[in-house]
Amino acid sequence: MKNPLHLIAPLFLLTFVAMQAHELTHQLAGRLVCGCWGTMTFNRFYLPPVCQQTLVWLWSTAAGPSLSYLLMWIGAAMVLRSPRFRVAGAVLVFANLPLARFVTFITGHGDEMVIARILGGTPLMVAVGVLCCALVIPPVVIASRIFERKRIAWTFGALAAPMIFDAALKLPLLEPMLKRMSFAPIAGIPPAVLIADGVALLLAAALLVRMRTAAPARN
């Protein structure tokens, strides 16, 4: 791709959709293992207190990153196997915030770190860190192939930009706005979140379909 700046809009939109799918997967898994709905916002999910009495809630915690890793690998497969959707596949990889998986793990706030700390302490934390690298690095390397020039610089930008966008949009803007609303939640999810997710999904799908003909030459 000669001008990766054209990817900013679909990348940011798909980032929002992917991260909401991440949280929604936490929410749905929590319902399955706990038998009741928790609550979900734009940035977090909260299990009901009754679910936290046993370690069964760890399945819900693991569900979110499992989806993110799966989508990264699907995106990588699109880059390798589908010339028409090669660029869309790379966007899917970066939209699932592979860099954020490292940052949250290292800082001790990621879902992976929570699970490792509770189940096995330091040895398991190291093993999970290695597994995280194994799941993230190959899709990123594959996705970077769409950049024809300055590959390292553009790859770093594609890793960092959506992570910064996600934090800047949700923490100072969407989360405070949500706290000022008083509509009854649906399955533990505020209507504003569901509406925003639906609109973003439609827009992202439309942009990705338009990108289907973008098939840069392989290096």
pLDDT digit string, tens, across residues 98-108: 999 988 888 87
CA-CA distance, 76 to 66, in Å (whole number)? 16
How many domains, in total, are found in the chain?
1
In a domain, 97, yes or no: yes
Cβ partners under 8 Å of residue 106, min gap 6: none
Q: Is the pLDDT of residue 218 over 50?
A: no
- Domain range for residue 37? 4-212
In a domain, 218, yes or no: no
Given a contact cutoff of 8 angstroms between Cβ atoms, the answer to whether 34 and 48 are in contact is yes
Cβ partners under 8 Å of residue 21, min gap 6: 67, 71
In a domain, 219, yes or no: no
Q: pLDDT > 90: what percent of the chain? A: 64
Q: What is the pTM of this model?
A: 0.90
Of the pLDDT bands very low, low, confident and very high (cuts 50, 70, 90), residue 217 is: very low
